[in-house]
Amino acid sequence: MRSKNYIILIHALVWLTFLLAPLLFIDTEQGRERFILMGWFIQLLMAGYFYYNFLFLIPRFLLRKKILVYVGFLAVGLITISLLNVAFVLSTSGMIERHHPFNFWRAAFFPFYPAILAFALSSTVRITMEWFKTEHQKKEMEAEKLTSELAFLKSQINPHFLFNTLNNICSLARKKSDETENAIIKLSQIMRYMLQDSRDEKVNLEMEVEYLKSFIELQRIRLPESVNIIFTVDGQPELITLEPLLLIPFVENAFKHGVTYQGDSDIIIRLKASEHSLFFCVTNKIVAPGNDEIEPGSGIGLKNVFRRLELLYPKRHTISVTNDGDQYFMELTINFAE
């Protein structure tokens, strides 16, 4: 509403300036009064033709691509203001007839130049406004689409994680392990984060780190001592905010494809944070050829996180994945500075 009032005020000031122009540039000699009236009348005709094109012709015909009808109504408007000027000149010609006798063609064609100016101004302003309006709508639609897509991708991560974790707890329960209760408590803490804190658009990196630690501790419960897990955090994670559940798919993938019960295996997770950047690295042993590949139904998390990174940090993140046949190495860098 406020922006609309500003637009009305700008229009009023512009036309007031035009109406004051005859007072500044018309000679004070004979015929001053009539020439001022003529100047004002031409300005009114110009304003009328401006809004005739701006408010009526462009939105109703030009924007709907009815070009011939649009040109026809432009011509009708031009003829109308020409005849109105002829009538005005006739009605005031007696005031200084001895100096400027009436000339029909001069009176008829005189408004053409102001009308062309009004047409050019109104067309430029209206088409520019429509262009900005269209661009704004496009951006809103893109933002809405992005928000919807991110929400969908994020919603897919939660069931995927829950499915895997419940399988782990189920396995502990079958073994009647004393760790079952502890695992359920850890899962409840993780689910609280996923269902409450992760609903925010962004969270502090410290919260995400605590979530990763809880996830890793939950995994330790079911894993043998031969699985060596190293998780290090350097820098100042409290300085960074990022979208929740963005890092967990990489960690989950390492546990899914990098753990074996038949020998030693290592999972190394390193996170380094500074004020404007994040470095995240996950390394795990490949326990069997091809296990690092995305299997049907099991690689949803990785697919989603790649897509989320593309949407959230276009041209501001780099990710590399290396498989040398023995080790799977993922390295992610995000630049948060605009």
Give percent of the chain with pLDDT exceeding 70. 74
State residue 26's pLDDT score: 53
Q: What residues does 39 pair with on adjacent strands?
A: none
Question: Which DSSP state fits 318?
Answer: E
- Mean of pLDDT values over 14-36: 56
Helix (H) or strand (E) holding 271: strand 265-273
pTM score: 0.55
State residue 294's pLDDT score: 37
Report pLDDT digits (tens) over 270-324: 999 998 899 999 999 887 544 433 343 445 567 778 888 888 898 899 999 888 8
Average pLDDT of the chain, as a whole number:
78
Domains of the chain, by residue range, sit at: 2-138, 177-335
**What are 148's two structure tokens?**
């919807």
| CA proximity to 110, closest of 14, 43, 25, 21 | 43
State residue 194's pLDDT score: 73
Residue 103 reports pLDDT greater than 80: no
State residue 30's pLDDT score: 47
Pinpoint the alpha helices (H) of the chain: 2-25, 32-51, 67-92, 104-109, 112-174, 179-195, 205-222, 248-257, 300-312
Q: Does domain 177-335 have CATH number 3.30.565.10?
A: yes
State residue 47's pLDDT score: 81
State residue 175's pLDDT score: 81
Report pLDDT digits (tens) over 131-182: 888 888 777 767 766 665 666 556 555 565 677 678 878 887 888 888 788 8
Kindly write down the DSSP assignment for every residue of 297-311, as one continuous string: TT-HHHHHHHHHHHH
Report pLDDT digits (tens) over 111-123: 888 888 888 888 8
Residue 52 buriedness (CB in 10 A; 0-12 / 13-18 / 19+): buried
